[in-house]
A and B are shown apart, each in its own frame.
Chain A
């Protein structure tokens, strides 16, 4: 079965610690994305990547970092510089993105991060 996996499902960290969230896809998609979801707010884009070894900041990239060394993998690191890291983090992928047309993004099950 093709899909997107995120691990772990729940993650607990102390303030001041960096933490890395895993995202893997076997859909052969070129583009991958990280979103953050907070209660009462829409999903917000953190980072995205359209090709291996290249990625761009989204709307709320401060305090986060990513890498894209393989097509299948797009890990997200939440650093100690992120002021409000507690949230539900969602990874997504899509075939690719063109200038005039966009294709649906498929989401993973999410990782709920709690920082105390």
Chain B
């Protein structure tokens, strides 16, 4: 059974204070690991796909990395508009994506 655990559940940072969000996973054969951003009351917005250990993807202030057991979403010099819930999901042996519960990120000006 595919499993995803995200930590921390919530994170409050000052504007410009860099940090990392963690996604630990167990799957039977990883077909893809996905990061999404979700704003309140809206559908998740796709950010990154990672397929193999050592892979990295970057977009503006965000960088996603992948090992065999976990993925990190690094946020560099965040701005208040980066405040959102960040979701991690894997596609392994299950039929659809298995999601973590998310990390609720607040960036204070």
Contact = CB atoms under 8 A, between A and B. Distances in A.
A4 B98 CA distance: 21
Chain B interface category by residue count:
20 to 34
Interface in A38-79: 40-45, 48, 56, 58-59
A21 interface: no
Contact of B95 (A58, A98, A101): A58
A109 B96 contact: no
B31 interface: yes
Contacts of A108: 43
Given A42-B4, A107-B44, A109-B42, A101 B97 contact: no
A41 B102 CA distance: 9
Chain A interface category by residue count:
20 to 34
A45 B46 contact: no
A9 to B, nearest CB: 9
A4 B96 CA distance: 18
A100 interface: yes
A22 B91 CA distance: 25
Contact of A110 (B36, B43, B51): B43
